[in-house]
Amino acid sequence: MKTKLLVLVTMSALLVLLTGIGCAKPAPSPTPAAGPEFEWKFQCAYPVSDCAYYVTSVESAELIEAGSRGRIEVKAFPEGELVASDQMIDAIMSGAVEGGVMMPAEMAGILPAALTLQLPTSAETIDELMELCYDYGLMDLLRPAFAEHNLYLMSRPYCGILTFQSTFPVHHLTDFKGKKIWANNTLVDGFKHFGAVPTFVPGFDMYTALKLGTLDGLSWTVGELEYAKFKEVVKYNLDLVLALAGDMVVINLDAWNALGPDLQKQVQDYYDSHLKKLGEHYAYYDMTSLAAAKEYGVVWTTLPDDEGKEFFSVQRRFWDQLATKSSLAAKAVEICWDFVKAKGRA
């Protein structure tokens, strides 16, 4: 189950360059309206230095505006400018903020099934992610459940590759023992199994936490090695793709319903037609960041093949645990199992 990082990311980025960023022909940009009828505040759960802000959040805001033909004005904000990241779900549900980008872990307490949008060892590429979410029906299953919490699940875009980046080398699973680490809900139990100590970091200020020694390592997207300057505070990067980052685009349901069905369809269709292009743009940041981090001196480490398999075997236990949380979670996990079985990776 071991996926080599540079190979995977380079292939994705080469696809971007060879296809002019995106294989499917995007929908044409609609003709702008005279002025906006709706004004949305759109916050990212991550700081301004994070690729999830200036790729996923800013570009999602631009896509919504373009798809609306100027009828919606969307202003993107980084983490903390409107509300703290741990308050975003409540703010969007209440309508204090109309939408945003965040990880599924923010929904774990009220809708555990949302975590299936980021299960480790499920989708491994941009195309696989789109296949799992749309062709296998994961988005269709989850959207009504989000609506029960006054949320519209607009999209689950590709948001980079998660690796383990650290101030200490990882050559064996025993190297995690006693180390202070941060990982999202779908990965943290696996790290705990091997002796790591989960550590909370307010505001996702990972750079400072690593610099001060509050953290010894973290599971994070590779783009931040360069663009958030993690390369300055980590010394090692484990050459193992842990998962595809699982950020989701959510909109306050009242704000979404106020658009009416015609504008909803227009915006959603336009966004979906650019979804692969958005992911491939992120993959380009992954590739350039990995190259820059290596040049800077970050050292790549590996696990023995048998230990890599053991690591992912332990991570798969989370699937079974998640399926017990609710009938919806069980159905969502079943979709993920059907997907990996079809890929020959069960």
User: Do 198 and 278 share a domain, yes or no?
Assistant: no
User: Do 227 and 181 share a domain, yes or no?
Assistant: yes
Total of domains in the chain: 2
Bridge partners, 164 (sequence order): 219, 238
User: Do 215 and 313 share a domain, yes or no?
Assistant: yes
User: Do 86 and 53 share a domain, yes or no?
Assistant: yes
User: Do 236 and 115 share a domain, yes or no?
Assistant: no
User: Do 328 and 222 share a domain, yes or no?
Assistant: yes
| pLDDT tens readout for residues 131-176 | 999 999 999 999 999 999 999 999 999 999 999 999 999 999 999 9
Residue 16 has pLDDT above 50, yes or no: no
Find the mean pLDDT for residues 181-203: 93
Q: What is the CATH number of the domain that holds 222?
A: 3.40.190.170
Q: Pairing state of beta strands 151-155 and 248-252?
A: antiparallel
Residue 22 has pLDDT above 60, yes or no: no
| pLDDT tens readout for residues 239-288 | 999 999 879 999 999 999 999 999 999 999 999 999 999 999 999 999 99
Q: Which long-range contacts (CB under 8 A, 24 or more apart) does 263-269 make?
A: 263/68, 263/71, 263/72, 266/30, 266/67, 266/68, 266/69, 267/64, 267/67, 267/68, 267/72, 268/67, 268/154, 269/27, 269/67
* CA nearest neighbour of 152 among 271, 10, 232: 271
pLDDT score for 341: 96
User: Do 150 and 226 share a domain, yes or no?
Assistant: no
User: Do 112 and 226 share a domain, yes or no?
Assistant: no
User: What's the pTM value of the predicted model, to 2 decimals?
Assistant: 0.86
Positive or negative CA dihedral for 109, 111, 112, 118? negative
Q: Which domain holds residue 197?
A: 161-243+288-342
Find the mean pLDDT for residues 105-133: 93
User: Do 116 and 263 share a domain, yes or no?
Assistant: yes
pLDDT score for 34: 66
User: Mean of the per-residue pLDDT values for the chain?
Assistant: 91
Percent of the chain with pLDDT strictly greater than 90: 83
Q: The tokens 């079974």 sit on which residue?
A: 320
| pLDDT tens readout for residues 58-87 | 999 999 999 999 999 999 999 999 999 889
Find the mean pLDDT for residues 93-98: 98
User: Do 58 and 176 share a domain, yes or no?
Assistant: no
User: Do 130 and 171 share a domain, yes or no?
Assistant: no
User: Do 69 and 166 share a domain, yes or no?
Assistant: no
